Structure 1
């Protein structure tokens, strides 16, 4: 965490044991998502029935991460003596939410890696049904006649601007999975 953990006891007596448990569970949050900016935990009393003798415990965990609103998990305990179970329940929920965010970020970055990029047709071999596209910052990408989308392989010319999607490296090295003609050179 970039900022120190904040623990606030509101309308309830401070407990060293509860604070220690919260600190331990807050450190484990970084296993679910490593880029946590800060974490704030509020321990307090919940609304209760006026006829009840037991003061219900409420716990709220707020986790700040880059580019997203706060990840919030909260719950209430109705019985005396279930503070540790309540802490575990709320932090388990916060961990699951952070894991979901982490998975979303991972999937988004995968999609960006496979995003189309522009290039220029560098070499063509029409009699062998393949060619190469030059892209910025990398080796030329091999492509075949079947990779040309919304257009004709025979209409391609050296120097033509194209949009390419990368495919995993094949027997010819780096290759394109799709080639789309954009503009004549």
Structure 2
């Protein structure tokens, strides 16, 4: 880390054990991501509660090149946060998740979701209310009029590109689409 840890104990006395715990967790963050420029941690007791003790609140502000990652106190009552060590643990766990996500984003490791299955209308019978789609993975999938999004079945014709969702259970006539959506030729990726 380029600048030393800034640690604030607000509305409470400084505690060496809590300071050591926070410093250890910041060191772990620094080992997780090499580009941390600064870190500010604030620990404070929450508002007084009549039936139980104070809930501790932890705020972490972590600066990395190009952005700032922030963990705010947990909304709602988390009874375990009566113990400052638990509040610290939960806040740093949340920051680790944010830091890992940031690291994946900048390294290009963010998982890309596959697009929907696509195909072209291979057969259509408007009078019988069904058709078949030749998919990009070389299957022939049956579909009924009711599977077409927006009820646009009558507008479909041979070779029209579509996106579809195949029902996980095969019907008596083989694989069947549960959803069919017409797409433009520019969206079709064979």
Tell me the TM-score normalised to structure 2 length: 0.51
CA distance in 1, matches of 2:10, 2:23: 17
CA separation of 1:67 and 1:27: change in aligned 2, threshold 3 A: same
- Mapped contact 2:53–2:82 kept (Cα < 8 A): no
CA distance in 2, matches of 1:17, 1:24: 11
CA distance in 1, matches of 2:97, 2:81: 26
Q: Which residues in structure 2 correspond to 1:1-185 (within 5 Å)?
A: 1-49=1-49, 51-52=50-51, 54-68=53-67, 70-76=68-74, 78=79, 82-107=83-108
Q: Which residue of 2 aligns with 1:159?
A: none
CA distance in 1, matches of 2:92, 2:11: 21
Question: How big is the shift at 1:103?
Answer: 0.3
Question: How big is the shift at 1:78?
Answer: 3.8
Unaligned runs of at least 5 residues, structure 2: 110-190
Deviation per CA, 1:27-50: give whole Å up to 9, x if none. Answer: 10023221000000001121343x
- Mapped contact 1:57–1:78 kept (Cα < 8 A): no
Question: How big is the shift at 1:75?
Answer: 3.0
Tell me the TM-score normalised to structure 1 length: 0.52
CA distance in 2, matches of 1:87, 1:79: 11
CA distance in 2, matches of 1:56, 1:13: 16
Q: CA RMSD in A?
A: 2.0
Question: How big is the shift at 1:89?
Answer: 1.0
Question: How big is the shift at 1:79?
Answer: 5.0
Deviation per CA, 1:137-183: give whole Å up to 9, x if none. Answer: xxxxxxxxxxxxxxxxxxxxxxxxxxxxxxxxxxxxxxxxxxxxxxx
CA separation of 1:94 and 1:79: change in aligned 2, threshold 3 A: closer
Unaligned runs of at least 5 residues, structure 1: 109-185
CA distance in 2, matches of 1:37, 1:55: 32
